[in-house]
Amino acid sequence: MTFNNMLRILLCLSTLLVILDVHSQNMNNPYSVYGVGDIDFKTYNRTSGMGGTGLAIKSGSAFIDNNPAGISGLPRSFYLAHVSVTGRTSTYAGDPINADNSKNKDMWIKRFELGVKINAWWASSIGLGQFSNINYKFRGNKFIEGSSTNYETAMEGEGGLNDYHWTNAFSLGKHLSLGIKSSLVSGSINQSEILDDPGLLNTITTKQQDYLSQFVFTSGLIYELPLNKRWDFSIGGKYSPMQKFSAERTLTVSEGDQVIKEDVFTKADRFSLPQTMAGGISLVHNKKTTFALDYTHEDWSALSIKSTGWQMINNDRVTGGVEFSRFRNKQGKEVDYKFFQLGGFYNTGYLQVRNKPVREYGFTLGTGGLIGNGLVYTLSGEVGVKGTTQAKLIKETYFGLTFNITYSDLLFSKGRKYD
């Protein structure tokens, strides 16, 4: 890798980090008040324009790891660096919504990956991404214990969990690939309750912080089979067992400028992620047109996670998409230089509030291709709906843009190309 290429990567990452710092505090997500926040089930890579469908699709010149076994398709003798950036505008509807809080927009970095095909049968990658996010503000009224007076209060939340992972994939012969993703999912959930009623002499602020951390493992496989000269078939699956998180809670209470309690440990707690099973298929026609379909089941009900007015329920997710690729001959090799994508998704929702599941569905459109030596981009648009206005809940209608870019270059070792 040359110095100029390294400089290009560092400049791109620096720019993206500035964007992240400027915009990461603007998001308002009403359903992130529950559990560990709003868990992001979407993928941010070349399959974004296909509704995130890709459990049976392997990496190529662009990074794809919907299935841990997918990175076995990385090109040999190259390393790949991948970054995803997402922007989103939302419109909210429902009884709690008024003209002041009916719209929102945001932009943030979703993930960063670095992968390499170590030899003919082993590929490896490391990366980080957002697992869940918390950002909400509510206003209401409540009673203070021992008093019959109703006080105005504000509830705010921020934080979330991040996924730091190491993925390894192995090719067993020409048709079968196996993979395992080892993740450290950790972060903090910060919640504040502010009593700022005019009837109080001083503002009373209670800050609760929950720290969670746990190793999470996901295994996967992809089996490829050519059906005839024109059609290729592949099937993929992944599995993650139930995982128990350890959590610690601290509390800080202040009245006006005076701190009454500071970072007082209150309890150790538990949160769990469900057993998850997923499968997908893909059909490729003439190496140019890809049809794909995925299904995922998350067994949340077995965990019995619930509180007053809400609970976690079993979640089923279906995604489907198609990609049309154009190839060009470059140095005697057919290169995928341009592609177009269509897709959609339906998510039954893992969260139920006031006996109403928080469902989500949407459609995607994407395009991408080569831009110069070693750069592959994907630009995808998404229109979706989440939640409902029934039972005085909030419905979100959103439009999002996702930009993925993968940079690849030859590896060198002691002055020689890695091969």
Query: In the predicted model, is pLDDT for residue 234 greater than 70?
Result: yes
Which whole number is the average pLDDT over 405-410? Answer: 88
Q: What is the pLDDT of residues 151-165, one digit of tens each?
A: 778 888 889 999 999
Query: In the predicted model, is pLDDT for residue 210 greater than 50?
Result: yes
Residue 331, pLDDT score: 58
7, burial (CB in 10 Å: exposed 0-12, middle 13-18, buried 19+): exposed
Question: What's the pTM?
Answer: 0.86
Distances (CA, A) of 259 to 205, 206, 253: 9, 10, 6
Residue 313 has φ and ψ, to the nearest 5°, of: -130, 165
- How high does pLDDT run on average in the chain? 86
Structure tokens at 62: 């662009």
Residue 195, pLDDT score: 79
The 10 Å Cβ neighbour count of residue 254 is: 16
Residue 416, pLDDT score: 47
Structure tokens at 224: 């490829």
Closest CA to 348 of 358, 340, 356: 358
Q: What is the pLDDT of residues 297-341, one digit of tens each?
A: 999 999 999 888 999 999 999 999 999 998 776 655 666 789 999
Which range of 43-47, 146-150, 262-266, 372-376 scores highest in mean pLDDT? It is: 43-47
Q: Are 252 and 204 in contact (CB under 8 A)?
A: no
Which whole number is the average pLDDT over 198-226? Answer: 88
Distances (CA, A) of 306 to 123, 302, 315, 344, 398: 40, 11, 15, 30, 27
Domain membership of residue 126 as a residue range = 3-417
Q: What angle do CA 291, 116, 215 make, to 5 degrees?
A: 85
Residue 405, pLDDT score: 92
Euclidean distance between CA atoms 260 and 206, whole angstroms: 10
Q: What is the pLDDT of residues 185-198, one digit of tens each?
A: 999 999 888 877 66
The residue assigned the tokens 């979330």 is 160
Structure tokens at 374: 């070693």
Per-residue pLDDT band at 16 (split at 50, 70, 90): very low
The residue assigned the tokens 């995982």 is 243
Q: What is the pLDDT of residues 347-392, one digit of tens each?
A: 999 999 999 999 999 999 999 998 877 889 999 999 999 999 999 8
At residue 392, the 3 state secondary structure works out as helix
Closest CA to 50 of 271, 366, 310, 315: 366
What single DSSP character describes residue 17? H
CATH code of the domain containing 74: 2.40.160.60
- Half-sphere CA count of 159, side-chain side, radius 13 A: 20
Residue 112, pLDDT score: 93
Euclidean distance between CA atoms 263 and 270, whole angstroms: 19
C-alpha torsion 301→305→307→309, nearest 10: -30
The residue assigned the tokens 């996924």 is 163
Closest CA to 175 of 244, 214, 225, 139: 225
Detail the DSSP E strand segments found in 173-314: 176-195, 204-226, 231-240, 243-255, 258-273, 276-285, 289-298, 306-307, 310-312
Euclidean distance between CA atoms 135 and 331, whole angstroms: 50
Q: Which residues contact 332 (CB under 8 A, 6 or more apart)?
A: none
Euclidean distance between CA atoms 108 and 317, whole angstroms: 24
Query: Which range has the worst mean pLDDT, 5-9, 132-136, 218-222?
Result: 5-9
Q: What is the pLDDT of residues 76-115, one digit of tens each?
A: 888 899 999 999 999 999 887 877 778 888 888 899 999 9
CA 352, chain centre distance (Å): 20
Query: In the predicted model, is pLDDT for residue 282 greater than 50?
Result: yes
Please tell me the total count of domains within the chain.
1
Q: What angle do CA 294, 295, 297 make, to 5 degrees?
A: 150
